[in-house]
């Protein structure tokens, strides 16, 4: 090939290459959102037809704490709160809580925790190992905020939508080094002294491998037993056991207002001169994030948030009740990608069917609410609660 022709061909190739890499005016645009791809499935979208009304409350002036209501949304990160807020038209009862912070949820041996270690940190005020329920890093029973409340002569209670021997509720009362010890965790309630117990899991109470009927044992100890929603409000006595399903409770729209009825019944039964400690869990926010179903997740969050609203209204009248709302961990890698506040529509993406390591919100209302402002380890949230009980 002639030298001149070879040079021309190389020059042409170089110019073509430079032209291919040259930036067009469109490439200089900083709006990169145009490159996003949205592949929505049926379970990634949700529209709320009828939003519920949220409450309005004022922060009480008192600094004296008589009662503590510790409310945990299982798997409820700021992601889930944000999605629910849009889907309900831009309002949640959590909005009424004057103090906010966030909690770092990692456990001792894993960055991404589970409900066992996450719940134990909130209950006992110290981080522990993955899978440990109400137990420290050496497997020894923790002294939890509920135990401290009992020592001070306060009444105590649990109201959840999962089986009552699951990680979070059991972590406030019982102990195990594996969540598989379900029969043992149920049996530990017999001598726990907890005044009010409400959730699911009859299978572990009266269909046990050891032949025991724990429900009958609790009745013998003076507990009123309830297994239907319509019987909660009228239950009498000063000790209550409510178990409404063989395992976990049905989804929110199917089970009805069991969490609302049981929480308000607990407040009614536990309220006394010395005060009470009540843990309430919206347990199945986590379950539906695991399944990547945003509609079911929203309804579980709404169910929990409605209870928060009723609790805040009661606490405002009482004036001496501290209410804390937080989560044990985040679930689902949930992202809010599209939607409309006005149309109450959300379109989301789940990046995982498991837990993730993103920090979770902490909200507080009532005396000493300011103690929960800022950034905390999850164990610090539990430690603050315990210190307020000492």
Q: Which residues are catalytic?
A: 115
Distance CA 259, CA 199 (A): 8
Q: Measured in whole angstroms, how far is the alpha carbon of residue 199 from the centre of its chain?
A: 15
Task: Calculate Rg over the CA atoms of the chain.
Answer: 25
Strands 345-350 and 374-377: unpaired
Instruction: Answer whether 126's CB lies under 8 Å from 382's CB.
Output: yes
Residue 223: DSSP 8-state: P
Mutual angle of helices 294-318 and 258-270, in 10-degree steps: 20
Three-state SS at 29: coil
- Strands 240-243 and 321-326, by their bridges, are unpaired
d(CA 223, CA 238): 8
Please name the residues in contact with 195: beta carbons below 8 A apart, sequence gap of 6 or more: 155, 156, 157, 238, 239, 240, 269, 270, 276
Cα–Cα distances (Å) from 71 to 11, 233, 325, in that order, read 71, 21, 5
β-pairing verdict for 276-282 and 334-340: unpaired
Q: What are the backbone angles phi and psi of residue 140, rounded to the nearest 5°?
A: -85, 150
Give dist(CA 368, CA 59) in Å, integer.
11
Strand positions, DSSP E, the chain = 45-47, 67-73, 99-104, 155-163, 196-200, 224-226, 240-243, 276-282, 321-326, 330-331, 334-340, 345-350, 355-356, 360-365, 374-377
């Amino acid at each position: 090939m002639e030298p001149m022709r070879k040079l021309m061909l190389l020059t042409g190739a170089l110019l073509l290459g430079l032209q291919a890499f040259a930036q067009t005016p469109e490439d200089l645009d900083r709006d990169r959102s145009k490159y996003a791809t949205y592949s929505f499935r049926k379970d990634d979208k949700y529209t709320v037809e009828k939003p519920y009304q949220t409450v309005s409350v004022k922060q009480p002036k008192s600094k004296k704490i008589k009662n503590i209501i510790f409310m945990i949304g299982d798997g409820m990160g700021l992601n889930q709160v944000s999605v629910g807020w849009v889907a309900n038209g831009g309002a949640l009862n959590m909005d009424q809580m004057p103090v906010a912070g966030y909690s770092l949820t990692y456990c001792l041996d894993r960055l991404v925790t589970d409900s066992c270690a996450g719940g134990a940190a909130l209950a006992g005020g110290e981080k522990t190992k993955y899978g440990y329920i109400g137990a420290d890093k050496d497997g020894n029973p923790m002294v939890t905020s509920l135990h401290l409340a009992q020592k001070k002569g306060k009444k105590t209670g649990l109201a959840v939508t999962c089986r009552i021997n699951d990680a979070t509720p059991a972590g406030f009362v019982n102990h195990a080094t594996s969540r598989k010890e379900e029969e043992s965790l149920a049996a530990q309630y017999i001598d726990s002294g907890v005044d009010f117990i409400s959730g699911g899991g009859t299978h572990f109470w009266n269909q046990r491998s050891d032949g025991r009927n724990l429900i009958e044992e609790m009745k013998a100890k003076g507990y009123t037993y309830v297994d239907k929603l319509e019987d909660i409000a009228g239950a009498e006595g000063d000790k209550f056991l409510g178990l409404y399903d063989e395992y976990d409770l049905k989804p929110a729209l199917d089970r009805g207002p069991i969490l609302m009825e049981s929480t308000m019944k607990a407040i009614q039964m536990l309220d006394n001169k010395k005060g009470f400690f009540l843990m309430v869990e919206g347990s199945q926010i986590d379950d539906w994030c695991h399944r990547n179903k945003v509609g079911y997740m929203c309804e579980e969050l709404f169910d929990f948030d409605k209870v928060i609203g009723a609790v805040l209204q009661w606490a405002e009248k009482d004036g001496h009740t501290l209410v804390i709302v937080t989560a044990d961990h985040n679930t689902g890698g949930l992202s809010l990608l599209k939607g409309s506040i006005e149309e109450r529509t959300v379109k989301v993406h789940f990046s995982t069917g498991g837990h993730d390591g993103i920090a979770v919100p902490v909200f507080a209302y009532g005396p000493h609410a300011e103690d929960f402002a800022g950034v905390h380890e999850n164990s610090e949230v539990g430690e603050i609660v315990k210190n307020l009980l000492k």
